[in-house]
Chains A and B, each alone.
Chain A
Amino acid sequence: MSLIVSSSPHLKSKLTTPYLMRQVIVGLVPVVIASIVFFNYRAILLISICTLTCVFTEEIIFKIRKKRQSQRDFSAFLTGLLLALILPPLTSWYAAVLGSVFAIAIVKHIFGGLGSNIFNPALMARAFLMAAYPKMLTSFCKPLSYDVISQATPLALRKFNFIITPIYKLFIGNVSGSLGETSALAILIGGIYILVRKIADWRIPLSLLLTVTGISSIFYFVNPNNGSVFFHLFSGGLLLGAFFMATDPVTTPVTKIGRYIFGIGCGILIMVIRYFSGLPEGVMYAILFMNMCTPLINRYTSPLPFGVNRR
């Protein structure tokens, strides 16, 4: 009889990291469907390019780093999917490929791979593409159309043309914008799914959304041209960011208090950028900035051991 002698515990929950990643992907299914409805073949094309490039890049890096990991964790696929969903529908294939390689090779693996990166790879790749192709990344087209009819996003319309898009359009998603960011309905379905299934922690999305609600209601009260609460909640990348980017465990705090701080910080930054900067939208920069603050937040909110009093 040969016996295994290993450290306790000898029991393990069924939860696994690949399962968590797959569940986030399941949560994104409604968003993917909405993007295909509104942007048809362009959505299919971009999603395929980004996911395939990400997975392929990661395989090559595993080969180079001689990392033996028999199990695939689906995190590269998820990164690709998220990247595609935050790109404008008219992004060209080479920019998508470049962004995907950048996300996996530079943002993720230069820092040591899954779990070690500081920044959210998809958001960082988008920021990189913003710098590399500023024109391409800020041109949006009309949804539900095979022709390229350029149209500004609701947030840009508010900022530069003082036009407020009707809420129901934002809710359904029949507006211009990045592939997966337009339909609030689809994101809410998927987002609530991952929260209810306890795949992602609810603290960050909740505190982020409440902060945005609070700030935008004050500004709306002062001047209705600032846009209503629902306008701010449903437009731009806010919901997708709150539910799927700000909940990325790797780049967000591990303490409970830290998660509230992270969410509130994101919310404040987003609204500051939307109201007071030259940019119409700030979700990406806000989350990336808070990613950078995460080690600091962790340090200052590290929990006290049981039975120790704060002095």
Chain B
Amino acid sequence: MVKVEEYKLPQHNISSEKFFQPTRLYLPLAQHTGKPSQPLVRKGDYVEEAQLIASQDGLISTCLHSPSKGRVVDIDEFNHPVLKRAKAIIIECDNQPKNYSLRKDIDSLSKLELLDIIKKSGIVGMGGAAFPTYVKLLPPKSIDTLIINGCECEPYLASDYRLMVEKLEGIFKGIEIIYKILEPKTIFFCIEDNKPEAIKKLNLLINTKKFKLPFISLRVLKTFYPQGGEKQLIYSVTKRRVPSSKLPFDVGCLVHNVATCFAIYEAVYWDKPLIERLVSFVGDALVSPKNLWIKIGTSLKELKEKGIINFKFEPKKIICGGPMMGIALESLDYPVLKGSGGFLFLSKEVDLKEELPCIRCARCVDACPMGLLPLEYAKRVKAGDYDKLQEFNIKDCIECGCCAYICPSNIPLVHYIKIGKRYVTNS
């Protein structure tokens, strides 16, 4: 665990803005963990906003909706931040926003009906992993603790924070729905202590008792990275340790991100599938940081061309996600995905420093939240001694980046770990 140097975060104070109607959308079929969806439209088809355009394929998968009215111009390979290249539905948009109307019979909906709505809305975990939400809501074991993750421990990003400040009631309505489905004994709303404005609002809202959530309590946690990591969060709140290669439900817990709760609210109350999300655009290369409501599939290039994001300096590194775990992109030709909480544009902070010898200072060992020996991975991978990696439990590594962040010798430990993991899974 590390305390990442506190950056002054003007983005925390910037209200979210609605983004204009994009002209072209790139919608990869793989927006989530699991099997990519199956396209239901063909080149030349005309689609409505919120129309289902790709269906769920298999148990761990989900569906995809068109974020805008428009014409399908192609279904072809396009850049993908994680997969590099992947099949995407490309839509030329018409500038006609749809109006959503409030569902009337919310209280009378049964558990199964609620689950069905969530399943058909294509909702995934919006904290980054993008695991299909309805699968998580059908755990094979009973859950006694529901944890709402408002930690957003990645430095720089502010989208979850803004959502909590601006749309807290919506988030709570989403939690109510999850509560109805799972009936946990307790609910913990977790937030780090560096977000005072959101904490104030949360306290007020919980005290009004407006919501039918009898067992909810606020947990203000210390700010450190990775406080928002699923296993770390569960441990911080319940002192339960999720065993290696097990999932949270094995210890009776379930973690949902605040943005996911909000998406559930929109799906159930407004019948609006997941086609839009709040995204932070930050970094020193930008004229000013922004928090924008962006349609899924909008490309960074269009945002740049339309002057929605403006560069003060030429960026040297563009990162999809936060600075600790995000993925460096090769160009601006990448779309916003359901799981993208933010993009980072760095000009001078990028500084590939010379790698010095490991002085065995053990700072990486002390920093590792998973209790591993990162220095051994670098040493073994460099020496080509891959067989030892298993012994040092390389698979337990969550690639959080704490070790490489702290290493005084600038050893790119995560880089070596990724190489090592690839080798271990292949053999």
Contact = CB atoms under 8 A, between A and B. Distances in A.
A306 B362 contact: no
Contact of A303 (B242, B359, B372, B399): B372
Contact of A16 (B319, B344, B410): B410
Contacts of B418: 7
B318 interface: yes
A307 B235 CA distance: 10
26 contacts: A3-B318, A3-B329, A4-B316, A5-B330, A7-B412, A9-B323, A10-B324, A11-B324, A12-B410, A13-B4, A13-B406, A14-B5, A16-B409, A17-B357, A70-B354, A73-B357, A114-B357, A114-B359, A115-B359, A250-B360, A254-B362, A254-B365, A256-B366, A302-B373, A303-B373, A305-B396
Contact of A8 (B326, B354, B360): B326
B361 interface: yes
Interface string B311-333: 00011111100011111111110
B356 interface: yes
B40 interface: no
Contact of B344 (A4, A10, A12, A113): A10
A277 interface: no
Interface stretch (B90-98, B203-211, B345-353): B345-353
A1 B244 contact: no
B196 interface: no
B342 interface: no
B66 to A, nearest CB: 30
A143 to B, nearest CB: 35
Given A256-B366, A303-B365, A307-B244, A249 B324 contact: no
Interface in B242-264: 242-244, 246
A308 B235 CA distance: 13
A116 B360 CA distance: 9
Nearest to A21: B359
Contacts of B319: 8, 10
Contacts of B346: 10
Contact of A249 (B330, B360, B401): B360
Contacts of A305: 244, 370-372, 393, 396
Given A3-B329, A8-B327, A9-B323, A73 B243 contact: no
Interface in A243-259: 249-250, 252-256
Contacts of B396: 305-308
Nearest to A18: B356
A115 B323 contact: no
Given A3-B329, A11-B324, A114-B359, 20 more contacts: A3-B316, A4-B316, A5-B330, A6-B412, A9-B324, A10-B346, A11-B323, A13-B405, A15-B363, A15-B406, A69-B356, A70-B354, A201-B362, A249-B361, A254-B365, A302-B373, A302-B392, A305-B370, A308-B243, A308-B396
Nearest to A303: B371
Nearest to B7: A11
Residue among B235, B246, B351, B361 with the highest chain A CB neighbour number at 10 A: B361
Contacts of A16: 353, 356, 408-410
Interface in A276-311: 302-309
A41 interface: no
A53 B287 CA distance: 52
Determine which residue in A9, A71, A256 has the highest number of CB atoms from chain B within 10 A of its CB, and name it.
A9
A43 B332 CA distance: 62
A19 interface: yes
A20 interface: yes
B421 to A, nearest CB: 12
A206 to B, nearest CB: 16
B2 interface: yes
B369 interface: yes
Chain A interface size range? 35 or more
Contacts of B370: 305-306
From A14, A75, A116, A254, name the one whose CB has the most chain B CB atoms within 10 angstroms.
Answer: A254
A99 to B, nearest CB: 22
Contacts of B190: none
A66 B418 CA distance: 29
Interface residues of B, number: 66
A226 B310 CA distance: 76
B356 A73 contact: yes
A306 B404 contact: no
A29 B360 CA distance: 24
Interface string B147-186: 0000000010000000000000000000000000000000
B359 A5 contact: no
Given A3-B316, A3-B331, A9-B414, A306 B324 contact: no
Given A11-B349, A13-B406, A16-B408, A6 B359 contact: no
A254 B392 CA distance: 14
Given A69-B354, A115-B358, A3 B328 contact: yes
B375 interface: yes
Nearest to B418: A7
Contacts of A306: 231, 235, 241, 244, 369-371, 396
A10 B362 contact: no
A307 B370 CA distance: 8
A19 B408 contact: yes
B355 to A, nearest CB: 9
B17 to A, nearest CB: 25
B415 interface: yes
Contacts of A307: 231, 241-244, 246, 396
Task: List the 3 shortest-distance A-B pairs measured between CB atoms, nearest first.
Answer: A9-B401, A7-B415, A254-B362
A101 B155 CA distance: 47
Nearest to A68: B354
Interface in A61-98: 69-71, 73, 75
B412 A17 contact: no
Contacts of A12: 351, 353, 404-405, 410
Contacts of A252: 360
A15 to B, nearest CB: 5
Contacts of A255: 362, 365, 373
Contacts of B354: 69-71
Contact of B359 (A3, A70, A250, A308): A250
Contacts of B314: 1
B359 A17 contact: yes
A109 to B, nearest CB: 11
A8 B401 contact: yes
A254 B371 contact: no
Contacts of A201: 362
Interface in B379-423: 392-393, 396, 399, 401, 404-406, 408-410, 412, 414-415, 418
